[in-house]
Amino acid sequence: MKYYILVGEASGDLHGANLMKALLKQDPEAEIRFWGGDLMQEVGGTLVKHYKERAFMGFVEVLMNLRKILGMISFCKKDIAQFNPDVLIFIDNSGFNLRIAKWAKQQGFRTNYYISPQVWASRAGRVKDIKRDIDEMFVILPFEKEFYKKYEYDVHFVGHPLIDGIAGRKQVSIEEFRKEHDLGSKEIIALLPGSRKQEITKMLSVMLSLVDDFPKYQFVVAGAPSQSYEFYQEIIGAANVKFINNKTYDLLSVSHAALVASGTATLEAALFKVPQVVCYKGSNISYQIAKRIITLSYISLVNLIMDREVVKELIQNDFTKENLKHELERILEAEHRQQLFLSYFDLEQKLGGKGASAKAAKLIVDGVKK
């Protein structure tokens, strides 16, 4: 059968790659065409567009690139029509994907969505469009099934794919990792400033401002595969830090604490049992707009899933050197760390265990066969 998968960012590339592997086990003759990234490309199939070509963050950035985005939507529709897939699979990236889904449903294509748009965070009115345009929805957060149930839309909770991704990774030797990257013997504080240029630019310099205040620790910047070393170096400058590109999981596995940009990485840090401070800073206009439409009490997945403050969130004007220093000191304290570890254990239990990609793939293939 023929599958067309649409992914728009680095986290979706990881989940898309795992889903593709699972689809190929269910359907060894599967023909897959996709918009994604390097991880999906390693699995096989045909890459149409890399997510790096359309990584726009925030309302202002989207408006500035609107002509380019509209051109990509037009191209995508033509490419889907030419490929004529048995099913379209959308992964996250709702701004782009829901526009394609509306058109695709009108054309008679089967539409599946893996990893729900965050309609529970803002603009819940989009559920009406999702019910109309998406044949099957596969959600990965435990509270999402109940959310959709309120709108009389039955979705499948398959568990969170990060559990499989972390459990299935090749284990790294702490000693070998330190030696390979010249990290010395100090405890490591990982800096995860996000994957998009806008968020890295806004947050990394503030994170780096703490380095001299914690001389007993080694700070290490986790580089995203979507950005070049030269871009990071412009921000890092002469700061006494290490830089490791595209090895975030390995870095988290040896880290003592982390400063993490809001997003999937907050959940990744929690699953690696790394005490963290969650950071967010966007353009002022984008933030003011978001503040008026987002209805959530928290921005990190850890706190949202647990429905309480497990990890501290420093958002926009609260994201300052003084506040960040105070919160980093807290997560380095033994008593607070123990509380975090217990909460992280409860979080993992709520996520539903292993097998998310396999469950979603089976449901997708069975649905097409029916």
Which residue from 260, 317, 289, 282 is spatially nearest to 198, judged by alpha carbons?
282
Give me the pLDDT at residue 362, please.
97
CATH number at residue 174: 3.40.50.2000
**Residues 93 and 199 both lie in one domain:** no
**Of all residues in the chain, what percent carry a pLDDT higher than 90?**
69
**Residues 111 and 177 both lie in one domain:** no
The total of structural domains in the chain comes to 2
Cα–Cα distance, 313 to 124 (Å, whole number)? 24
310-334 exposure pattern, b = at least 16 Cβ within 10 A, e = fewer: bbbbbbbeebeeebbeebbebbbee
Cα–Cα distance, 137 to 111 (Å, whole number)? 9
Q: Per-residue confidence at 61, pLDDT binned at 50, 70, 90? A: low
- Domain enclosing residue 112, as ranges: 2-159+355-369
pLDDT tens-place string over residues 100-141: 999 999 999 999 999 998 888 777 889 999 999 999 999 999
Instruction: Give the strands of the sheet with 187-192, arranged side by side.
Output: 242-245, 217-223, 187-192, 257-261, 276-280, 312-315
**Residues 177 and 222 both lie in one domain:** yes
Q: Per-residue confidence at 288, pLDDT binned at 50, 70, 90? A: low
Query: Across all residues in the chain, what is the average pLDDT?
Result: 90
**Residues 80 and 22 both lie in one domain:** yes
**Residues 27 and 117 both lie in one domain:** yes
Cα–Cα distance, 90 to 100 (Å, whole number)? 9
Q: Per-residue confidence at 355, pLDDT binned at 50, 70, 90? A: very high
**Residues 149 and 173 both lie in one domain:** no
**Residues 90 and 203 both lie in one domain:** no
The answer to whether residues 242 and 221 touch, using CB atoms and an 8 Å cutoff, is yes
**CA angle at 310 for the pair 304 and 316, rounded to the nearest 5°:** 70
Looking at the predicted structure, is the pLDDT value of residue 195 above 60? yes
pLDDT tens-place string over residues 161-192: 888 888 878 788 888 999 999 998 999 999 99
**pTM for this entry:** 0.78
- Measured CA to CA in angstroms, residue 118 lies from 92, 123, 324 at distances of 8, 9, 27
The phi, psi pair for 216, rounded to 5°, reads: -80, -5
**Residues 120 and 7 both lie in one domain:** yes
**Residues 134 and 203 both lie in one domain:** no
**Residues 51 and 187 both lie in one domain:** no
State the CB neighbour count (10 A cutoff) for residue 45. 20
Looking at the predicted structure, is the pLDDT value of residue 11 above 50? yes
What is the arithmetic mean of pLDDT over 42-68? 73
Cα–Cα distance, 16 to 37 (Å, whole number)? 9
**Residues 107 and 198 both lie in one domain:** no
Q: Per-residue confidence at 353, pLDDT binned at 50, 70, 90? A: confident
pLDDT tens-place string over residues 318-331: 999 999 999 999 99
**Residues 101 and 238 both lie in one domain:** no
